[in-house]
Amino acid sequence: MSKAKLVYICSLRNAAADQAGQYIDYKEGQRYMKSPLEYLVEALNDTPLGQAYSLEAVIYDDDEGSPGDRAKLAEYGFRCQPGKKWICPSGLLVQGRDLDGLMHAIPSTYRRHPKGAPERVAGKSAFERSLLDKLTALQADVVVLDGLLIILDELVRPGSVFHRKIVNIHPGITRIESPYERRGAYATLDALNGARGKKVLNWETMEAVAVPPVLMTGASFHYVDNGIDSGEVIADALKTEIDPGDTILELRWNNFQRSLFPALHQGLSLLAGAPPH
């Protein structure tokens, strides 16, 4: 039985914000912040997932020509380099291959233009065409998004070659009917505020209202559609207790370990019909 070809797409700047691949302050000590990509590599190397999938490429959309991206990646850079932090250990192998050799940049340069500008709209379309060309050349069967800080449009529309082949791992419950629902880019911060009895109504002004505290959060593995974390859920996990005194990185660490990694593993297993971990 041939393996499904898996392509992983992320934003390095999101991983850098998590301090991925580094030790973070955690309560009275430190803990290693394993990225979802590093977890996936280990799972492909050491669990039945490796019998179902072959990791073909890791694509990132960060733009070296963007001052904002350069600032966010000042300590990491845009590739693994001596003396720089990186999102995974240097020399990490996945299924016998050098992970760094599988990294490919397809910069989302359209973000240099203001929202709504014609150049941004055209650039977004060109970016998605570049992704389409790369995914087609790789003969991708499954595409996993992790912390990709953009919304895909053309690639996930019904009728597209990759419709229902692109999935996302999200650090929050995305089922709209759930009392633990946390969609969007601020999912973890939303959950932390919720544990403190606060609901932020506007993330620019930080206008907020008091709400009953919610002391749990989780993660969802879902198909990607044209909305914000609104696609059909394949697997989710609600296993992360929140201490209202947590820092954002402490909660991220807990949620990765307790909910996000299990949801990623279960979701990929369900897609492949692979044995559970």
Q: How far apart are CA 80 and CA 83, in angstroms?
A: 9
Average pLDDT, the chain: 96
| Pair 157, 163: CB distance under 8 Å | yes
Q: Which two tokens stand for residue 131?
A: 């992704």
pLDDT of residue 105: 98
| pLDDT tens, residue by residue, 2-60 | 999 999 999 999 999 999 999 999 999 999 999 999 999 999 999 999 999 999 999 99
| pLDDT tens, residue by residue, 75-106 | 999 999 998 999 999 999 999 999 999 999 99
pLDDT of residue 157: 93
- The CATH number of 4-272 is 3.40.50.170
HEC sequence for the chain: CCCEEEEEEECHHHHHHCCCCCEEEECCEEEECCCHHHHHHHHHHHCCHHHHEEEEEEEECCCCCCHHHHHHCCCCCCCCCCCCCCCCCCCCEECCEEHHHHEEECCCHHHHCCCCCHHHHHHHHHHHHHHHHHHHHCCCCEEEEECCCCCCCHHHCCCCCCCCCEEEEECCECCCCCCCECCCCCHHHHHHHHHCCEEEEECCCCEEEECCCCCEEEEEEEECCCCCCCCCEEEEEEEEECCCCCCHHHHHHHHHHHHHHHHHHHHHHHHHCCCCC
Q: How far apart are CA 216 and CA 180, in angstroms?
A: 7
Q: Which two tokens stand for residue 255?
A: 């949620």
pLDDT of residue 91: 92
Q: How far apart are CA 127 and CA 110, in angstroms?
A: 8
- Given a cut of 60, whether residue 275 has pLDDT beyond it is no
| pLDDT tens, residue by residue, 175-226 | 999 999 999 999 999 999 999 999 999 999 999 999 999 999 999 999 999 9
| Pair 240, 218: CB distance under 8 Å | yes
Q: How far apart are CA 123 and CA 113, in angstroms?
A: 9
Q: How far apart are CA 136 and CA 112, in angstroms?
A: 26
- Given a cut of 90, whether residue 265 has pLDDT beyond it is yes
| pLDDT tens, residue by residue, 123-171 | 999 999 999 999 999 999 999 999 998 889 999 999 999 999 999 999 9
Which neighbouring-strand residues pair with 143?
Answer: 7, 166
Domain ranges of the chain: 4-272
Pick from 173, 162, 190: nearest CA to 259: 173
Pick from 182, 184, 206: nearest CA to 195: 182
| Pair 149, 14: CB distance under 8 Å | yes
| Pair 40, 47: CB distance under 8 Å | no
| Pair 167, 221: CB distance under 8 Å | yes
| Pair 12, 78: CB distance under 8 Å | yes
